[in-house]
Amino acid sequence: MDLPSTKPYLIRAIHQWCCDNGFTPYLAVAVDARTRVPREHVRDGRIVLNVGYDATAHLCMDNDSISFQARFSGVARDISIPIGNVSAIYARENGAGMAFEPEDETASTATASSAPDQDEPPDPPPPPVSRAKLQRVK
């Protein structure tokens, strides 16, 4: 019997840790045909999204996908991301988080960032994804 992936559980845990500690959780996503995001914000097949409670509505993180509504240039958009397309989740303020191995056709080499409705310039993308790793957080 195959055990379920730990990836969605780890994503939810890092998200909760970020929110509990006043950090902004960012999700790095490899975009493909299964990913529903504003294509005008996709760069080199990737997008980075602010998934904090202040930036999202109806946030749902289940074992297969992440879905929510977010505003881009003042327009509410429905976002849907397969768990397999998530390449990292991290705190914007200090970069602490976790990166994941790309799955199936989500293997892409470049990264760019875009965050919904922010007045400040976008933050640099997370480090390149090479292997899943656990980082000690103090």
Query: What is the per-residue pLDDT across 77-105, written as a single tens digit (0 to 9) for each?
Result: 999 999 999 999 999 999 999 999 877 65
Which two structure tokens, joined as six digits, stand for 65? 């996908």
Three-state helix/strand/coil letters over 66-130: EEEEEEECCEEEEEEEEHHHEEEEEECCCCCEEECCCCHHHCCCCCCCCCCCCCCCCCCCCCCCC
CB 24 within 8 A of CB 91: yes
Bridge partner residues of 70 (DSSP): 77
Residue 36 is predicted with a pLDDT of 96
Q: Taking 90 as the threshold, does the pLDDT of residue 59 lie above it?
A: yes
Q: Taking 70 as the threshold, does the pLDDT of residue 124 lie above it?
A: no
Give the mean pLDDT of the chain: 83
Domain at 7-106, CATH from 2.30.30.220, 3.40.50.970, 3.40.640.10, 2.60.40.1510: 2.30.30.220
pTM of model > 0.85: no
Q: Taking 80 as the threshold, does the pLDDT of residue 111 lie above it?
A: no
Q: Which residue has the higher pLDDT, 117 or 36?
A: 36
Q: Distance (Å, rounded) from C-alpha 96 to C-alpha 135? A: 7
**Rounded to 5 degrees, what are φ and ψ at 9?**
-70, -40
Residue 113 is predicted with a pLDDT of 40
Residue 133 contacts by C-beta under 8 Å, 6 or more apart in sequence?
98, 99
